[in-house]
Amino acid sequence: MTERRRGGGWVLSASAAAMMWLAACAGTGETPVATAAPKSGGAEKFVGDARLGEELQQLCPVLAITDFSENSRDTVVISMNKESFLIETRRTCYPLRDAMGIGVPPGASCLRPGDQLLVTDAGPTGQGTPLGTDRCTINRIFRWTPTQRVETPKAKAS
């Protein structure tokens, strides 16, 4: 875009106009208003939760994972031999969120940070990927104490 003025002979180019527009929009130099801190991920989202226990350096012996719950993109609670553990993964592990099955590599005797969980999204119909196609690398391991269910007393039969 070029504009010539009669008599004055100056030229306004598109780049000069863009520079002036950017300078006008650059701001006043004020400090931006602080926004809320981004939500923490991984085990940090459970800080203050009574279920979160001590951090473990390793989990031995590794038995079959009998159950898992509370799976998200970066954490999962696994159950082995009536004990539960919160596993935090490195980075985001998208397959973990929709997992239908979780396992450990064959021959694994312990789980430590840096080891991997095998994840599948294959459901009962057999659709999806087979167990072990997706892997999630373990970042940290914590003891997990599920909340106790409050049992209501049963009414006595008369």
pLDDT in tens, 124-152: 545 555 555 789 999 999 999 987 443 44
Q: Residue ranges per domain, the chain?
A: 52-144
pLDDT > 70 fraction of the chain, expressed in percent and rounded: 61
Going through the chain in order, the beta strands assigned E by DSSP cover 52-56, 67-69, 75-80, 83-89, 101-103, 116-120, 134-144
> At 121, which amino acid appears?
D
Q: Residue 150: its pLDDT value, please?
A: 37
The whole-model pTM stands at 0.64
Go through the chain and tell me how many residues it has.
Answer: 158
pLDDT > 90 fraction of the chain, expressed in percent and rounded: 35
Whether the predicted pLDDT of 87 surpasses 90 = yes
Q: Residue 131: its pLDDT value, please?
A: 54
Going through 20-158 in order, the beta strands assigned E by DSSP cover 52-56, 67-69, 75-80, 83-89, 101-103, 116-120, 134-144
